Amino acid sequence: MPILEVNGYTKSFHIHHLNREIPVFDALDFRLNEGEFLLVTGPNGIGKSTLLRCLYRSYRPTSGEALYHSRYGTVDLSRAADVDIGVLREEEIGFVTQFLRPRPRVSALELVAETGAHTGGQSAIAQAEAMLTEFGLKPELWQAYPATFSGGEQQKVNLARALIRPRRLLLLDEPTASLDAATRESLARRLSDLKALGVAMIGVFHHPEDVAHLIDDEIRLSTSQVSMNGDYSHVAE
């Protein structure tokens, strides 16, 4: 079952004060099925994160369509109303970044619990504790403000926050950067469980070997063209 069909997807930034159009990618086509993991590869600055941000609509794509098959029917992420994107972010599409955005005077536990609060059932705090345990944040830090944490500790909070809610599509932007081996393993395990539940993922990974066993296909961005092949065995090496 396809969850996402992307056709002619194009992004350029228009910077007014330079009066310049900066092209990023052009006429991208790909599709993603439920439970599939797509790895985005290519050199630095080629637009891997930009692709994820366009799909999440932090960036506005320039042209093309991204047909997302939501529980409510098919929505073109390129042109859906902002409030509809809000609904999808709330309920179906998650974005996992490599940086936490701590808020002053909000504890690690609260930061995680507030995104879990809408799911009902198990209390948000209990869920948040379970997630922080899973990603290995020391309990003595749960009540502390993450602004003072190390990069790795912040990232544990970030992962717990991003993955606490059930999603149908996850956009992963280098989530393993700054993580130690044990946490990378926890993340890979979590992603593997989610994949088994049918969650589709598109990810940019600095060290794809962490998730090699999850990868079904690859989009390779290059300056000349975009290629998609079924062969990703080299990734595992």
Partner 1 sequence: MTDTSSRVPISLDPPRLVRQQPLVKVEGLVKHYGRIRAVDQVDLEVYPGEVLGIVGESGSGKSTVLRLLNLQEPADAGTYRLNIPQVRADNLFALDRFQKREIRTLHIGVVYQHPHLGLRMGYTSSGNVAERLLITGERNFAVLRKAAHDSLAASEFPADRMDDPPAVLSGGMQQRVQLAKAIALKPALLLLDEPTTGLDVSIQATVLDTLKRLQRETNITTILVSHDLGVIRTLADRVIVMQHGRVIETGLTDQILEDPQAVYTQQLVYAKL
- Please report, as ranges, the residues that interact with partner 1 according to CB under 8 A: 13-17, 19, 53, 57-63, 70, 72-73, 75-76, 78-88, 103-106, 114, 117
- Using CA atoms, how far residue 46 sits from 13, 70, 142, 190, in Å, is 13, 29, 37, 28
Q: Which is nearer to partner 1, 5 or 185 (CB)?
A: 5
Q: Which helix (H) or strand (E) holds 40?
A: strand 37-41
> Closest distance between partner 1 and the C-beta of residue 167, in Å?
16
Q: Which is nearer to partner 1, 170 or 187 (CB)?
A: 170
Q: Which is nearer to partner 1, 14 or 213 (CB)?
A: 14
- Using CA atoms, how far residue 108 sits from 11, 155, 156, in Å, is 35, 11, 10
Q: Which is nearer to partner 1, 84 or 185 (CB)?
A: 84
> Closest distance between partner 1 and the C-beta of residue 187, in Å?
23
* C-alpha closest to that of 27 among 52, 58, 61: 61
Cβ neighbours for 153, distance < 8 A, ≥ 6 positions apart: 137, 141, 146
